[in-house]
């Protein structure tokens, strides 16, 4: 048995255990053992503000993605198979384009001379260009677009497991479609809601390219703190400490979520 799993264990050791271990070691060792990097993370305002902003943006992106993704998944689940395939194909299609290209596309759309501002000025809706980019608004809009498939697909998978007979049974007992949806369909789809929300939230915590381009240096998320500690200040220990705290935050989120839904659902294995 051990011989069969040894290759997999070696891969896990080489690609996960050693890098994470080296990251943790760098965060506590610099010419000797030190907790100075963690003291800075937990006491300096710039780190607190960055973590708070990252969690605020992640919550906003998750909420918006859920509001947009639930109707899309519900529609794909309700329509005939051909239409469902078309809707899901349109949802998955952006995966074929890199995140960098999509971020630049949103930058072109939202900038002061972009399509949206030009169109609104053409309609005389605005007299001056709106600040749609290089701020939190632009970061949230682009991030929602990029992460929306991670919300729709778990929701659709959960809805597929809800027997259609339940809706018909509710209707046969005299319940209106809205009442049947609220009392039967919505509660049964909650595991998909939790799985999709967890995926979007956790992925958003580590986003880098989109806030870097759309935030214009004003929306400093945690991943950008790691990058700047390495590129600007050559502080690998500080960057490692931030990365370790972010990793522990993600593990804590998964632990809490596992109390309510099996992790294999969140990770898409069922």
Domain coordinates of the chain in residue numbers?
Answer: 21-267
**What is the model's pLDDT at position 151?**
93
Contact assessment for residue 211 and residue 130, using Cβ atoms and an 8 Å cutoff: no
CA distances from 123 to 4, 66, 113, 126, 241 (A): 67, 31, 15, 8, 50
Average pLDDT over residues 182-189: 89
CA distances from 109 to 105, 134, 140 (A): 6, 12, 14
Q: Tens of pLDDT along 205-252?
A: 988 888 888 887 777 888 888 888 888 888 888 999 999 999 999 899
**What is the model's pLDDT at position 245?**
92
Q: Tens of pLDDT along 14-46?
A: 888 898 898 899 889 888 888 999 998 889 898
CATH of domain 21-267: 1.10.3720.10
Beta-ladder partners of 29: 33
Average pLDDT over residues 133-142: 91
CA distances from 159 to 46, 181, 184 (A): 42, 12, 12
Average pLDDT over residues 103-132: 88
**pLDDT over 70 percentage in the chain:** 96
Does residue 267 surpass a pLDDT of 90?
Answer: no
**What is the model's pLDDT at position 54?**
93
**What is the model's pLDDT at position 268?**
55
- In eight-state DSSP terms, residue 135 is S
Q: Tokens 């001379």 appear where?
A: 113
Where do the H-state alpha helices sit in the chain? Answer: 2-12, 18-28, 36-43, 45-78, 81-92, 99-110, 115-122, 136-160, 164-172, 177-180, 186-188, 190-205, 209-214, 222-231, 236-258, 263-266
Cα–Cα distance for residue pair 199/211, rounded to 1 Å: 18
**What is the model's pLDDT at position 161?**
87
- In eight-state DSSP terms, residue 33 is B
List all residues 6 or more positions away from 83 whose beta carbon is below 8 Å from its beta carbon.
Answer: 76
How much is the mean pLDDT over the chain? 87
pTM equals 0.87
Helix (H), strand (E), coil (C) string for 91-111: HHHHHHCCHHHHHHHHHHHHC
């Amino acid at each position: 048995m051990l011989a069969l799993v040894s290759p997999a264990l070696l891969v896990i050791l080489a690609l996960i255990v050693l890098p994470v271990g080296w990251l943790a070691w760098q965060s506590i060792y610099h010419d000797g053992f030190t907790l100075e990097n963690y003291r800075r993370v937990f006491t300096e305002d710039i780190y607190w503000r960055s973590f708070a902003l990252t969690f605020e943006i992640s919550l906003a992106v998750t909420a918006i993605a859920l509001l947009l993704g639930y109707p899309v998944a519900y529609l794909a689940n309700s329509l005939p198979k051909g239409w469902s395939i078309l809707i899901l194909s349109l949802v998955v299609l952006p995966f074929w384009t890199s995140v960098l290209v999509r971020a630049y596309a949103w930058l072109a759309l939202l900038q002061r001379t972009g399509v949206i501002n030009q169109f609104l000025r053409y309609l005389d809706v605005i007299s001056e260009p709106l600040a749609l980019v290089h701020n939190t608004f632009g970061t949230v809009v682009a991030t929602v677009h990029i992460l929306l498939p991670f919300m729709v697909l778990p929701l659709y998978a959960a809805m597929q497991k809800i027997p259609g007979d339940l809706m018909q049974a509710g209707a046969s007992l005299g319940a209106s479609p809205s009442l049947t949806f609220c009392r039967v369909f919505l509660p049964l789809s909650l595991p998909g809601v939790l799985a999709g929300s967890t995926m979007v939230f956790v992925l958003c915590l580590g986003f880098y390219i989109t806030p870097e381009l759309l935030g214009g240096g004003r929306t400093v998320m945690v991943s950008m703190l790691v990058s700047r500690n390495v590129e600007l200040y050559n502080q690998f220990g500080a960057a490692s400490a931030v990365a370790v705290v972010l990793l522990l935050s993600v593990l804590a989120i998964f632990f809490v979520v596992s109390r309510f839904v099996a992790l294999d659902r969140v990770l898409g294995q069922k």
